[in-house]
Amino acid sequence: MTTTDFATSNLSKISPKFRTSGAVSQPRRKAGSSLKDIGVTKTKVVKCTRQEDYIQRLFDAYHKTDDENLKRFIYQEIRKIEIKKIK
């Protein structure tokens, strides 16, 4: 059985890999934004909801739901629209 002299062998010169190097710490990213296609449609006719109809639908949903998070969201949406109307 031979023993290795670490002072003169190449085994002592191997540098350890850091755990933070490579794809472990920085996953690969795709080029471009995933949001670039928002609002793009292939339909020929796009029907936009009027703001008054949207507010009425929000009020209806607010009174029908028991979910506090949904109620909070609906309240904030109605508030934003009403504040814009005042300005």
Question: Quick check: 78 and 52 in contact, CB under 8 A?
Answer: no
Give exposure, 9-27, as e/b (b: 16+ Cβ within 10 Å): eeeeeeeeeeeeeeeeeee
73: number of Cβ within 10 Å: 15
Work out the angle at residue 84's Cα, subtended by the Cα atoms of residues 79 and 86, and round it to the nearest 5 degrees: 95
Between 62 and 26, whose confidence is greater? Answer: 62
- Could you tell me the two tokens for 1? 């059985």
Residue 3 has pLDDT above 90, yes or no: no
Average pLDDT, the chain: 79
| Confidence (pLDDT) at 16 | 62
Q: What is the pLDDT of residues 19-61, one digit of tens each?
A: 555 555 556 666 666 777 777 778 888 788 999 999 999 999 9
Of the ranges 9-13, 36-40, 45-49, 67-71, the best mean pLDDT one: 67-71
pTM for the model stands at 0.49
The reported pLDDT for the residue numbered 86 is 84
